[in-house]
Structure 1
Amino acid sequence: MFIQTETFSFNVLYEGNPNAPLVILSHALMANLHLWDSTVLALHVAGYSTIRYDHVGHGSTSRPTENQIGKLHFDDFCLDIERIISAVAPERTPFAIIGCSMGGVLAIRYAMLHPGRVKKVVSCGAPGINSLEESKPKWAERIDLFTREGVAPLAELTVERWIPGPFPEGVRDEALKQTLECTLEGYRACADAIVNYKYRDELGKLQTEDVMILVGEKDSAIGPKELSVELASEIRGGRFMELKDCGHVPPLHRRKEFEKVIVDFFGS
């Protein structure tokens, strides 16, 4: 379904038993809501309903305008989530939020902005609680590549970074299919948010939520693993989890292992 908000037309899927606990899922930059195809099936079997959506300029969600690019931040993306929930499930309060990569940052930020609202937070493959200063030149290079040569070269490089080494058959093909649907406008808007956030000083807002910081053992996109371990230790209800032989997008790379971790965490 398409949800028209004050700013964008969002492609949204609301699935599962409408009376079951609600889980929000937020995908990685260059992916789309299909990142969660397998995850939502596992969640439905486990007794949860789900809302997933495409970020601005991704999948089938509308693109940001030139005037909007550079002005959108994670707080704006959290407001998008609120608008989506209000439109498709106005009487519901989310039980949990799961995010991957930029979605992982968004999951934590959403919980900060709404203390006590969700019970469980899963931040998967998030690049720290503050923007990584050393990564900013890389983002500028990626935007330049996308601008000069179109989406295909950047999509190939992104998938190689996401899913290193041995991988289940078809996984890279599925990832590439998603990344090729990303627009330049969407990439620029989200990348700008990724290099301009700083939330460490607000970790104290997470007082009642159970928060899982989950990383892939072979994820090269998030900086030193120690940063994620430290982040989990600084959150009152935080825990750290590492998936073996896994890259940046566990919902695709190691689906079954990821799903078991999530379902067990939600049931704990």
Structure 2
Amino acid sequence: MAESENKTITIESIPYYVLLEGPHDGPLVILIHALMSNHRIWDHTVATLHTSGYRTLRYDHIGHNLTPPPADAQRNKPGCFNFDDFCRHLHTIIDTVAPGITPAALIGCSIGGVLVLRYHMLYPPSEGKVTKVISCAAPGLTSLDASKPKWKARIQQWKDEGGNEELVKQTFERWFPEPLPEGFDKERALSIVKSCSLEGYEICVWATMNFDYTGELGRIRDGQNVMILAGENDGNIGPREVLVDVHEKLPGSRYVLMEGTGHIPPMHWPERFEKIVLEFLGKASG
């Protein structure tokens, strides 16, 4: 029987919004959204996964949408959390809402794409279990130096303008280049991008500018269960070669280039994306 349950799970003064949905006995798929978006980028994906018998767990990052910034003022600032903290928080969330369950899949977009790879390094499936990993539009395995001035400029723009209205428009244009599918809901997409707070943006941007897992990729020993997915028209993450490089350094992994696609494949061309996802997941189960 299908179910839908949302919870607030507080970890280190962060009240995470968590949404567990789908067939109760279905294999569990974890979905991690991009910076400056929220769990709703997966709405179309989730519906398709449920129809295919999967159960889904998604949540909002720190200071994004329904997860407010940390209640502790000392923790509500850049530098207090890094990607390993985010993975540790996710591990607690999974243990809380689905104790004893090995995820059938981890699917992440942008920083979510980094987090699914890092989570798989830190918390690999136990012997005899399989977790498929799909990393979409991730900025490689280390912070890109060329991107750091851009991040800093965007934070300053937000502060100087006293809001994120213009930044939201610019982000949308980077994320969703033409052509857009017929019937694409631009207003909904803009509302999702706008749902991030400045505090959450700064916290996640700091983590994005300060990570390097290139020396630890060898911790993933089941490359055949990993997919690296890139959008052909993604101008947000820098050189596409960084994604090809991750694929080439991970023996057995699969690389997919989605034609005509920007930075958020599950929203830009959802049907195409879901076809790729379901084909890759196959009969994975937790």
The normalised TM-score by structure 2 is 0.90
Q: CA RMSD in A?
A: 1.4
Counterpart of 1:67 in structure 2 is 74
What displacement does 1:225 show? 1.7
Q: Which runs of 4+ in 1 moved over 6 A?
A: none
Q: Is 1:176 matched with 2:190?
A: yes
Counterpart of 2:25 in structure 1 is 19
Unpaired runs of 5+ residues, structure 1, are none
Q: How many residues were matched structurally?
A: 268
What displacement does 1:116 show? 3.3
Is the 1:116–1:207 contact (alpha carbons within 8 Å) kept by the matching residues of 2? Answer: no
Distance in 2, matches of 1:129 and 1:66, equals 30
Distance in 2, matches of 1:233 and 1:215, equals 14
Is the 1:23–1:97 contact (alpha carbons within 8 Å) kept by the matching residues of 2? Answer: yes
Is the 1:30–1:187 contact (alpha carbons within 8 Å) kept by the matching residues of 2? Answer: yes
Counterpart of 2:170 in structure 1 is 157
Counterpart of 1:128 in structure 2 is 140
Distance in 2, matches of 1:63 and 1:191, equals 14
Counterpart of 1:90 in structure 2 is 99
Q: 1:255 is matched by which residue type in structure 2?
A: P
Task: Select which of 233, 254, 274 maps to 1:239.
Answer: 254
Counterpart of 1:79 in structure 2 is 88
Is the 2:114–2:140 contact (alpha carbons within 8 Å) kept by the matching residues of 1? Answer: yes
What displacement does 1:237 show? 3.2
Is the 1:163–1:172 contact (alpha carbons within 8 Å) kept by the matching residues of 2? Answer: no
SS in 2 for 1:67: helix
Is the 1:22–1:95 contact (alpha carbons within 8 Å) kept by the matching residues of 2? Answer: yes
What displacement does 1:230 show? 1.8
Is the 1:25–1:50 contact (alpha carbons within 8 Å) kept by the matching residues of 2? Answer: yes
What displacement does 1:214 show? 0.3
Task: Select which of 209, 213, 217 maps to 1:199.
Answer: 213
What displacement does 1:199 show? 0.4
Aligned ranges for residues 93-108 of structure 1 at < 5 Å?
Answer: 93-108=102-117
Is the 1:115–1:207 contact (alpha carbons within 8 Å) kept by the matching residues of 2? Answer: no
The normalised TM-score by structure 1 is 0.96
Unpaired runs of 5+ residues, structure 2, are 1-5
SS in 2 for 1:257: helix
Counterpart of 1:212 in structure 2 is 227
Report the identity percentage: 47
Q: Is 1:187 matched with 2:201?
A: yes
Is the 1:171–1:253 contact (alpha carbons within 8 Å) kept by the matching residues of 2? Answer: no
Task: Select which of 217, 223, 244 maps to 2:238.
Answer: 223
Is the 2:102–2:125 contact (alpha carbons within 8 Å) kept by the matching residues of 1? Answer: no
